[in-house]
């Protein structure tokens, strides 16, 4: 199913997006590997553009997994070299995409396993909790950790940091294509789709 995901559109004005039936929204700091996660999830190489320079995405990118069931790649937050005005625009976009659009959605916040969760991620989680938006955490770049650190250890630490249940944390490596089975299953359940070949 995921291999059939197609690029739907890039949009800088969230208000122009049509309605969907369900949306998986990917958020996270720039360079944590959100685009790489989308590609690995969908068994594709170039579906989402992977940038060498962080902080390049200025619009939201929408991918259609099946008709009207979308994955939305938000611009990354916490990129230092952007102006105050750009940060304001980012905040507006996130607010419009996550709070004002009233359709069924879940946010996956992606973090870098090597860097660990940051204050910015913590603030994002608090903001989502305040607005009662369901969310989960994807810990990417697991390959960068020493072998002695298990997924269990990562998930325990991250869930403690965010004060959430451990079952909400998914450890993956987009580079090594590890950990995606569980994540695909989770998204399929959210979309309300029958689990076929993923």
Q: How far is the CB of 81 from Mg ion (least distance, A)?
A: 16
- Residue 67 CB neighbour total at 10 angstroms: 8
Provide the CB-side half-sphere exposure for 20 (13 A, CA).
27
Q: Which of 5, 36, 61, 171 binds ligand GDP (CB under 6 A)?
A: 36
Distance, in Å, from the CA atom of 117 to the CA atom of 139, rounded to the nearest integer, reads 9
Residue nearest to Mg ion (CB): 35
> Which regions of 100-145 does DSSP assign to beta strands (E)?
105-112, 135-140
User: Residue 39, interface with Mg ion (CB under 5 A)?
Assistant: no
User: Residue 35, interface with Mg ion (CB under 5 A)?
Assistant: yes
User: Residue 61, interface with ligand GDP (CB under 6 A)?
Assistant: no
For residue 181, CA distances in Å to 13, 111, 173, 192 come to 33, 18, 12, 16
Supply φ then ψ for residue 112, to 5 degrees: -95, 120
User: Residue 140, interface with Mg ion (CB under 5 A)?
Assistant: no
Q: Which does 36 bind (CB under 5 to 8 A by kind): ligand GDP, Mg ion, none?
A: ligand GDP
- How many residues sit close enough to ligand GDP to count as binding (CB under 6 A)? 19
Nearest to residue 6, comparing CAs of 67, 57, 97?
67
Whichever of 108 and 151 has its CB closer to Mg ion, that residue is 108
User: Residue 78, interface with ligand GDP (CB under 6 A)?
Assistant: no
Residues β-bridged to residue 7: 63
User: Counting Cβ atoms within 10 Å, is residue 43 exposed (0-12), middle (13-18) or buried (19+)?
Assistant: middle
Binding span for Mg ion by CB under 5 A among 34-42, 105-113, 131-139, 165-173 = 34-42
Whichever of 68 and 157 has its CB closer to ligand GDP, that residue is 157
Whichever of 56 and 189 has its CB closer to ligand GDP, that residue is 56
Give the number of residues written for the chain: 198
Binding span for ligand GDP by CB under 6 A among 14-22, 26-34, 128-136, 162-170 = 26-34
Binding stretches for ligand GDP (CB under 6 A): 28, 30-36, 50-51, 54, 76, 140-141, 143-144, 173-175
């Amino acid at each position: 199913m995921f291999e059939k995901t197609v690029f739907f559109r890039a949009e800088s004005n969230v208000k122009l997006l049509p309605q969907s039936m369900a949306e998986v929204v990917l958020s996270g700091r720039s360079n944590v590997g959100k685009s790489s996660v989308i590609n690995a999830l969908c068994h594709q190489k170039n579906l989402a553009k992977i940038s060498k320079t962080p902080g390049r995405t200025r619009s939201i990118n929408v991918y259609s997994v099946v008709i009207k069931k979308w994955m939305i790649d938000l611009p990354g937050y916490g990129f230092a070299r952007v102006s105050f005005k750009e940060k304001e625009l980012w905040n507006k976009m996130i607010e419009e995409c996550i709070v004002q659009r009233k359709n069924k959605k879940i946010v996956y916040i992606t973090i870098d396993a090597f860097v660990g969760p940051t204050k910015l991620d913590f603030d994002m989680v608090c903001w989502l909790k305040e607005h009662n938006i369901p969310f989960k955490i994807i810990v990417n770049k697991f390959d960068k950790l020493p072998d002695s650190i298990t997924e269990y250890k990562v998930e325990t630490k991250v869930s403690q940091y965010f004060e959430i249940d451990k079952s909400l944390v998914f450890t993956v490596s987009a580079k090594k294509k590890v950990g995606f089975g569980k994540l695909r299953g989770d998204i399929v359940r959210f979309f309300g789709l029958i689990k076929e070949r993923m």
